[in-house]
Amino acid sequence: QLQASGGGLVQAGGSLRLSCAASGRTFSSYNMAWFRQAPGKEREFVAAITWRGGTTHSTDSMAGRFTISRDYAKNTVYLQMNSLKPEDTAVYYCAAGNVGGLSWSRSYDYWGQGTQVTVSS
């Protein structure tokens, strides 16, 4: 199971760190990712980190502001988000999988419940 936390209300330009804690099994051999879904929009890929620690981000804008990382000992994945913008407002989901493209939601078998991030202007 995956448990996402760390969301909240923040002003534009602020920062948040999301956490995704895994329980019930180890996910050290899984790729981990963050997706987000804004109201009325489809779920979109944010960032992923492979089981070896390689990272990828959805856009250059996110790569410059968001950092995904993982702590194998704690079985936890993080998403550090800086310079937040109102358009970053969404529910953020963490996911785990080990087959398929990193940016495809279908590649992930395990999903957290989501954590709300709201950025005010």
Q: What is the pLDDT of residues 80-100, one digit of tens each?
A: 999 999 999 999 999 999 888
pLDDT of residue 50: 95
Q: Could you tell me if 43 and 58 are in contact, meaning their C-beta atoms sit under 8 angstroms apart?
A: no
Q: Which two tokens stand for residue 57?
A: 């981000």
Predicted confidence (pLDDT) per residue in 27-37, tens digit? 889 999 999 99
Q: φ and ψ at 73, to 5 degrees? A: -65, -35
DSSP 3-state of 89: coil
**Dist CA 92 CA 106 (whole Å):** 16
